[in-house]
Amino acid sequence: MIKGKRKPLEEIKSSIDAFNNILIVGCGGCVSVCLAGGQKETNTLKADLNMLYKQDKIRKGLKTFTIERQCNVQFLAELDEIVQEYDCLISMACGAGVQYLAERFGQKPVFPAINTDAIGVDRGVGIYEEQCRACGECVLAYTGGICPVTRCAKGLFNGPCGGTNKGMCEVDNDVPCAWHDIYERLKEQNRLDCILNIQTPMQWQNQVQRTIVQEPYESRYRQNRHSTS
Amino acid sequence: MIEEQTAAVDITFIRDMLEKNKGKMKLSLRVCAHCSLCAESCFLFNAYNNDPKYMPSYKFIHSIGTLYKKKGKVDRSMLEEISINIWKRCVLCTRCYCPFGIDIPSMIALARSICRSQGVFPRYD
């Protein structure tokens, strides 16, 4: 799931200083699970901002509302009537949710309260680890389920480099070398032949905005495109 | 936060929310023929050995249906009970299919909004 972390309070405050009636919009999806932008966190942010404004003796109308997912238009529609009362919105969703919210309510300024950090796993409550950079060209099949794009400091497809040192990376002695781990994993599975062939360079796909269409639905969207053109 | 979890349920507020969505909600509850065709479209129903409690129709009838039937007159424990049907048994993937066209996800989302308005929502910590 997507992992994020709340922005520093001062940064959030500075973005809304010019507005009086502010709606903090939470998201019930990924950011709820990583304890960054769910209903509980919207309440915390509201309380924190209220405290700061109280210290400055400024009165602000801060309200919270959490929808199930900010990346789905069906759930965003729930806000249609509510947002009219507010001067601006704070989104506690990931970057995708913030943009979808801003697109739907183009007349209202929308400010992010979360820094979207990673696609990651839950190592425990409140501790998450990045595992995927959504590069669009997954190589986990031949790297023993260890992502060199995420874990190798150089993002090498044919590693390790000369900087590997007793299983650690040259950039930091506390960082394990991804390619050392890949080698060990494949050796354990008796699949070392997977990394003997030189892999072709990554065709980086994340330079432009991507749209993902699943194969069974391709004809549907192709038809739509033709009918609208 | 603790105040929110122990405060009395605001029945008037729930009634207002139900009233706003009365048309769609009433029609959906009336139209459901309990045909169970929606069940197969729910991956959780399949994953939990076809447990009827995971049927989309069960989930929406035992959430928004309960709230509607009781005209919003529910207590916190009932909202907690409802929350199991709409959060633990549903991920709102919006893939459930109803041959009569009932928009089950929007009904479950409405039930979630009502629960949220009373401070009943999942905790992940």
Residue B3 pLDDT > 80? no
| CA B5 – CA B121 distance, rounded (Å) | 9
| CA A66 – CA A162 distance, rounded (Å) | 50
Question: Percent of chain A scored above 90 by pLDDT?
Answer: 83
Residue A37 pLDDT > 70? yes
Task: State whether residue A46 sits within 8 Å of chain B by CB.
Answer: no
Q: B124: closest CA among A37, A71, A120, A26?
A: A37
Which of A34, A35, A75, A80 best probes binding to B when mutated, by most B CB atoms within 10 angstroms? A75
| ipTM for the whole complex | 0.82
Does B124 fall in a domain? no
Residue A228 pLDDT > 50? no
Which of A1, A24, A39, A122 best probes binding to B when mutated, by most B CB atoms within 10 angstroms? A39
Angstrom distances, CA of residue A67 to CA of A71, A108, A119, A175, B69: 10, 18, 21, 38, 24
User: What dotted CATH number matches A2-119?
Assistant: 3.40.50.2300
- Torsion angle in degrees (nearest 10) through CA of A28, A33, A38, A39: 90
* Interchain contact, B1 vs A66, CB within 8 Å: no
Tens of pLDDT, residues B67-114: 999 999 999 999 999 999 999 999 999 999 999 999 999 999 999 999
Q: What residues have CB less than 8 Å from A40, skipping those under 6 apart?
A: A32, B1, B121, B123, B125
Give me the numbers of helices (H) and strands (E) for chain A, helices first please: 8, 9
- pLDDT (mean) for B53-69: 97
Task: State whether residue B4 sits within 8 Å of chain A by CB.
Answer: yes
* Interchain contact, B94 vs A74, CB within 8 Å: yes
Tell me the two tokens of residue A45: 């942010």
Locate CATH 3.40.50.2300 in chain A.
Answer: 2-119
Does B73 fall in a domain? yes
Chain B residue with Cα closest to A35: B124
pLDDT for position B4: 64
Q: B103: closest CA among B29, B5, B7, B20?
A: B29
Average pLDDT of chain B?
Answer: 93
3-class DSSP assignment, residue B83: helix
Does B51 fall in a domain? yes
Measure CB to CB from residue B106 to each of A28, A66, A74 and give the nearest one: A74
Name the minimum distance, in Å, from the CA of A193 to any CA of chain B: 36
* Residue type, position A90, single letter: I
Name the minimum distance, in Å, from the CA of A126 to any CA of chain B: 7
Task: State whether residue A66 sits within 8 Å of chain B by CB.
Answer: yes
Average pLDDT of chain A?
Answer: 92
Does B125 fall in a domain? no
* Interchain contact, B125 vs A32, CB within 8 Å: no
Tens of pLDDT, residues B16-29: 999 999 999 999 99
* Residue type, position A219, single letter: S
* Contacts within 8 Å (CB) and 24+ apart, A150-153: A150/A178, A151/A176, A151/A178, A151/A181, A152/A177, A152/A178, A152/A179
3-class DSSP assignment, residue A110: strand
Say how many C-beta atoms besides its own lie within 10 A of residue A99's C-beta.
16
pLDDT band at A212 (very low <50, low <70, confident <90, very high): confident
> Beta strands of A35-161 (E only): which ranges?
61-67, 88-91, 110-112, 114-124, 127-132
pLDDT for position A215: 83
Task: State whether residue B5 sits within 8 Å of chain A by CB.
Answer: no
pLDDT for position A223: 66
pLDDT for position A229: 35
Does B123 fall in a domain? no
Side-chain-side CA neighbours of residue B3 (13 Å) = 1
Residue A206 pLDDT > 70? no
pLDDT for position B117: 95
Tens of pLDDT, residues A142-190: 999 999 999 999 999 999 999 999 999 999 999 999 999 999 999 999 9
Does B86 fall in a domain? yes
Q: How many domains does chain B have?
A: 1
Full residue range of the structural domain in which residue B49 is found? 2-117
